[in-house]
Chains A and B, each alone.
Chain A
Amino acid sequence: MVGNKAISTDLLQDWYYHMLLIRRFEEAINEKFLAGDIPGFVHLYIGEEATGVGVCSALNRTDYITSTHRGHGHTLAKGAEAKRCMAELYGRKTGYCKGKGGSMHIADFGIGMLGANGVVGGGFNLAVGAALAVQLRKGSEVAVCFFGDGASNRGTFHEGLNMAAVWKLPVVFVCENNQWASTTPIHEATAVTDICVRASSYAMPSAMVDGNDVFAVYEAAVEAVERARRGEGPTLVECKTYRIKGHFVGDPEQYRTREEVMSQMESNDPIKKFLERVLPEKLLTEEQLQAIEQRVAEEIEEAIRFAEESPYPDPEEAFDDLYVEEEASHA
């Protein structure tokens, strides 16, 4: 149950599927990155799966999301294919961005995923603008902006939330408060403990939930999304979560103790929490869960195979996609 509504078996299975898909995808990336198969920088979403999945399951395919540098989870949760995500991270031609974006710039405009963003706090105003376009055309779509506690200290947060509130735009601002802004703990960099209190500066409704409880995230997201669709304006939803992995793969994590991380993994793992609820409450059967685990394992295996077998882009493709119509001279 969430609120007074029962959650359908289909939705429960979808949550488990997507949370597990993200977890296994990120574990595979971690391994492949350390093996030297994936170039660049990668930021993993492990431990935060319930947030992206709970929110995106409250959205339609045509709704928009903007993401962060930690964007694989949002992309998969919104419905992107694991194999094309994987190929992008590998820098291959078959990736969503044909190898031009990589981990930090993964996007799938076909499902309203308007891009991961290498600039922390870069997504606020893009989401505000997408919502403005919807309002102007009297559409029914909603835009969701995912951001971290660190990004809430950017000026873009202030400008975007104020503009969204004053124009009553259909946006939901979802703060993934994972306690760490890169290597800085929230209490050292942020004057408030709860980001959601900042909503009052914009006369904006807010909610604070356990971001590792997919039921709670979904409930808050549905309420915020429905409010936005009704034309009643934006909501700030703060999801308390925890970044299990370092800021990036390879981060020596000298800024926190191993005990802190272990204790979070033990007691605050969103997938574990989900299983600890659905099994005793008999919401899903062991067979149903196993079928999903099997499907996810196959999909990840296929994604890696697809990525590794895909060709790199031809070097000359570096000059494509800069402008629509005529390409810029690169002589």
Chain B
Amino acid sequence: MRNISFSQATLEAMQEEMRRDERVFIMGEDIASQGGIFGQFKGLPKEFGLERVRDTPISETALVGAGIGAALAGAVPVVDMHFADFIGVTMDEVLNQMAKIRYMFGGQATLPLVLRAPDGVTRSAAAQHSQSLEAWFLHIPGLKVVIPSNPADAKGLLKAAIRDQNPVIYFEHKDLFSKKGPVPDGDYLTPIGKAAVVREGKDVTIVSYSAMLGKCLEAADQLGSLHGIEAEVIDLRTIVPMDMETIYESVKKTHRLVVAHEAVKTGGVGGEIAASVSENILEYLDAPIIRVGAAFTPIPFSPPLEKRVIPQVESIVEAVLRARW
């Protein structure tokens, strides 16, 4: 095991997959000459050339549309969205083409395409560069959605996404890029569709993912030391297909559930999980399911405002205490 950054882990994933399969290429804005805004593409052009590591015009629609077309014609494209917010610019390509081409053509097509989408709040990037939009894609059949919380999964999920024959949206939280963590040596994949129990506990289940997972682990520490509550923490890792079994198994043990994400609480992934748990294992619950998510506002610019609208460690602690009545 080495200790490397999230950004470095994604870089290794790209290098390994591009060496392994010459059909793999990556394109996006400012990736080749600049190396990506988070340094996540540094060195790729030198090894693989500017054909396979391609700077594009500021044309998000063409970027995603051409990624789809290239995948249909036998390539394995990785498309970098620069900021997840810009998926809004190209939403038709995602909604009406990428998600539907295999199905509406009766399975004739395979679409091995990865959309890399740096999301989340970091350094006062404000309303149009800070969003967490994963719930949109939970609502569109035909896509897979992954969202790592640490460098090891960042690498394993990116490699798995590139090898997957389906279109995968890969959300990578901007605040995680510089964070370091242990990463296994050699070739490994993190399976898509499998959550991980990252901390065991018997009193409450906290489900989270991406950067919010770190806050949940901090909250779990506080709950243990200050309140004597043993929280079980699940890293969802994949939003679609969602590993409900791991959640059910945990809730059957703890009888309490909190779901926490940085995305807006209303209409979010937490609501979907809460509904599924209520529909299927209500009898195991001893308390209402509590959702923790961002306030119903765009992300504001000024640091105290930004901090106010997204969940903090204490929001999760409070939610767990509410779920223990």
Contacts and interface: CB of A to CB of B under 8 A. Distances in A.
Contact of A115 (B92, B101, B165): B101
B112 to A, nearest CB: 8
Contact of B106 (A96, A119, A132, A143): A96
A321 B25 contact: no
Contacts of B77: 129
Nearest to B25: A136
A118 interface: yes
B166 A323 contact: yes
A210 B86 CA distance: 40
B62 interface: yes
B103 A321 contact: yes
Contact of A107 (B23, B67, B108): B108
A101 B105 contact: yes
A5 interface: no
Interface in A277-331: 320-326, 328-329
B59 interface: yes
B62 A130 contact: no
A162 interface: yes
A20 to B, nearest CB: 27
A325 B165 contact: yes
Report which residue of B57, B61, B101, B166 has the largest number of chain A beta carbons within 10 angstroms of its beta carbon.
B61
B72 A126 contact: yes
Given A64-B73, A132-B75, A323-B166, A125 B106 contact: no
Interface stretch (A24-32, A40-48, A153-161, A216-224): A153-161
B95 to A, nearest CB: 9
A233 interface: no
B93 interface: yes
B55 to A, nearest CB: 10
A141 B74 CA distance: 12
Given A132-B69, A136-B52, A323 B144 contact: yes
Interface in B147-195: 164-166, 193
A100 interface: yes
A308 B242 CA distance: 41
A320 B107 CA distance: 8
Given A125-B68, A156-B62, A118 B96 contact: yes
A100 B102 CA distance: 10
Interface residues of B, number: 44
Given A118-B96, A122-B96, A100 B65 contact: no
B19 to A, nearest CB: 16
B104 interface: yes
- Residue from A108, A119, A136, A323 whose CB has the most chain B CB atoms within 10 Å: A323
A98 B102 CA distance: 12
Given A119-B92, A166-B57, A323-B166, A130 B69 contact: yes
A131 B74 CA distance: 11
Contacts of B25: 136
B245 to A, nearest CB: 11
B120 interface: no
A130 B96 CA distance: 18
Nearest to A327: B241
Contact of A125 (B23, B69, B104, B107): B69
A97 B25 CA distance: 29
B278 to A, nearest CB: 15
A98 B107 contact: yes
Contacts of A127: 69
B69 A129 contact: yes
B61 A126 contact: no
Nearest to A158: B59
Given A156-B61, A156-B62, A134 B105 contact: no
A117 B104 CA distance: 10
B244 to A, nearest CB: 9
B62 A100 contact: no
B51 interface: yes
Given A118-B96, A129-B67, A323-B144, A100 B104 contact: yes
Given A136-B25, A163-B59, A324-B166, A129 B65 contact: yes
Contacts of A132: 66, 69-70, 75
B75 A126 contact: no
A262 interface: no
Interface string A95-128: 1111111000101111000110111001011111
Given A100-B106, A122-B97, A156-B61, 8 more contacts: A124-B65, A128-B69, A130-B72, A163-B57, A323-B144, A324-B102, A325-B166, A326-B193
Interface of B: 23, 25, 51-52, 56-57, 59, 61-62, 64-75, 77, 92-93, 96-97, 101-110, 141-142, 144, 164-166, 193, 241
12 contacts: A96-B105, A100-B105, A105-B104, A109-B105, A122-B96, A122-B97, A129-B65, A133-B74, A136-B23, A160-B62, A321-B107, A324-B110
